[in-house]
Structure 1
Amino acid sequence: MSPHPIDTSCSVPVPNDHNFMPPAANASRSPCPALNVLANHGYINRSGRDISFFELVGALRLVYNLTLPLAFFLTMGGIILGGHQGVLSRIDLHDLARHNAIEHDASLSRSNANSDDQFAPVEVDEYVVARLVSPTTTHGGFSLRDLAKARMDREVSLHADLDAVHRVVAAGEASMTWLLMKDSHGLVPSKVIKQWYGEERLPDEYHPPASPIGLKKTHANANRVTSWISHLQHKST
């Protein structure tokens, strides 16, 4: 059992009729663990195909307790950057793997795409996840600052820096990981990272955050991630 269990005192459990099922061989999946989890638990089509705008918005709100504006923003961004045009579009999760659209290098769970690849890898890179949660990088849990350090460590291995847009996207991902999965001690347990990032399943005893996660909160913590990365990079030079 994790030494830092997720705080469930004020939240409502996710319904227990959505058992985890690994994707079928022909399933469509994205580079985003959070979305793949929704498909693996049946909150959206388990095939990962033909997903409507409102289906995805509803799943994000139910499972992760995102506010309506944030769920709309993320879903619309994915649809447009995935090559579609609006709320009537239906997408496959793999559409979101288009390289350097919303996807970017230096993922905390995937290997990088080759420079001439149209689509990035969608399979979990077990080596990347294992390095992330190794005893040398964490003492059982990740603070937001720890996630910023993990982001920096992945980015320094790149041949070219992430562009400004994808730095914002990557910082937002770290912010949402912390907001969605932190426990009552303000840490994301290593076990949770292994299950959510590595196995793409809802962590054991998962409950949605007690307070809705919105744009303002996500943006503020993404800015903290960006600031810490800049500070850590300055110290290392």
Structure 2
Amino acid sequence: MFILFKIVHDIAFFTWDMSLTVVNLVTPSRREGHVTPEGHPGFGGKWPEFVPPGEGDSRCSCPALNAMANHGILPRDGKNIQFKEMGRLIRTTYNFSPSFCYFVPNYAAQMLGKNYNKDTIELKDLDLHNGIEHDASLCREDLALEPDQSKPHEGYIKELLASATGKDKDGNPLLTIKDLSKYSSKRRADARSYNKDFTLDFVHRMFGSSNSSTLLTIFGGRIKDLETILLEERLPEGWESRVRGQMGLTLSTFNPTTVWPVEFGISEKKYLAEKAAQSPADRDTTTISSSVNKLDTTSN
């Protein structure tokens, strides 16, 4: 009975998500300055007061959710959050689609063994290892090395942002799909080499690429904005989501246009080979060669 319910549920969900994609295609985009709905926090780029987390406040490995708590859009202490309310507020803040905003909290509820309709969580609950949180994050150290996943890793973030090769029409730096693939290759290979507890199965590779791809969609890859959201976990004054569709960002748009290209562009073997080629002639490459061989059975 459960399997039958899941099949029907999944068919209904993806039909819903695809229908929202069609609506986005046939309706005008939201006007600049009106992406966040009127009457909601952030309308016109005016965000509630930013207050960094205090002692006892709950935060997680997701900068976007932490920013919502830091601005008081979610409870400032990051606790007693209803799954449905989380989805609703994510939608008005970042313009994800209703289907997307159902899928992620519902997945989290199932992951934690909670009831999506009745139960609450605090943000740190989302850091169940290999639930949604995963190794080789682009802005966190692996859990085995840093148990507090609320802490941004400044070094990784600055290295990621410095790797941007794109430019907008005014010449400002932008992250690209290729940039994310290349840096993800580095993070995965490096983490695999020094974290003896490293794991990253297919599902969590896709989660990793999905999380990083929001930097390109919701935040438009704009380095100036990403410095604020990733390092300070604050929404810049005047900022609004770069997703303009009336129904927001759907999974059926997000995955094929951004997530899959990022993930399928990741190659740890290529990164390690390039690293070896750039090394001095007398460098011991035994470890790198061994890692490349190991990847023959674990990754692309």
**TM-score, normalising length: structure 1:** 0.84
Max radius of gyration: which structure? 2
Identical positions, percent = 28
User: Pairwise mapping of residues 28-177 of structure 1 onto structure 2 (< 5 A)?
Assistant: 28-114=58-144, 121-134=149-162, 137-139=163-165, 140-159=173-192, 160=198, 162-177=200-215
Provide closer, same or farther for how the CA distance between residues 20 and 196 of structure 1 changes in structure 2, counting only shifts above 3 A.
same
CA 1:61–1:236: 2 relative to 1, 3 Å: same
Q: Verify: 1:214 aligned to 2:250, yes or no.
A: yes
For the residue of structure 2 that corresponds to 1:181, the secondary structure is: coil
Where is the helix percentage greater, Structure 1 or Structure 2? 2
- Name the amino acid aligned to 1:155: R
Query: What SS does structure 1 have at the residue aligned with 2:186?
Result: helix
Secondary structure in 2 aligned to 1:133?
A: helix
Go from structure 1 to structure 2 and tell me whether the alpha carbon gap of 1:50 and 1:180 turns closer, same or farther (over 3 Å shift). Answer: same
Post-superposition shift, 1:131? 1.8
Which structure's relative contact order is higher, taking Cα pairs within 8 Å and 6+ residues apart?
1
User: Do the aligned partners of residues 110 and 235 (structure 1) sit closer, same or farther apart at CA in structure 2, a change above 3 Å counting?
Assistant: closer
Out of 223, 226, 230, which is 2:260 matched to?
Answer: 223
Unaligned runs of 5+ in 2: 1-29, 37-41, 166-172, 193-197, 274-300
> Counterparts of 2:261 and 2:239 in 1: how far apart (Å)?
25
Corresponding residue for residue 53 of structure 2: 23
1:9 maps to 2:43: no
Amino acid at match of 1:9: E
Aligned length: 221
TM-score (norm 2): 0.68
Superposed displacement of residue 235, structure 1: 7.4
Q: Return the offset for 1:121.
A: 2.1
Q: Which residue of 1 aligns with 2:230?
A: 197
Q: CA RMSD in A?
A: 2.3
| Conserved 8 A contact 1:148-1:174 | no
SS in 2 for 1:158: helix
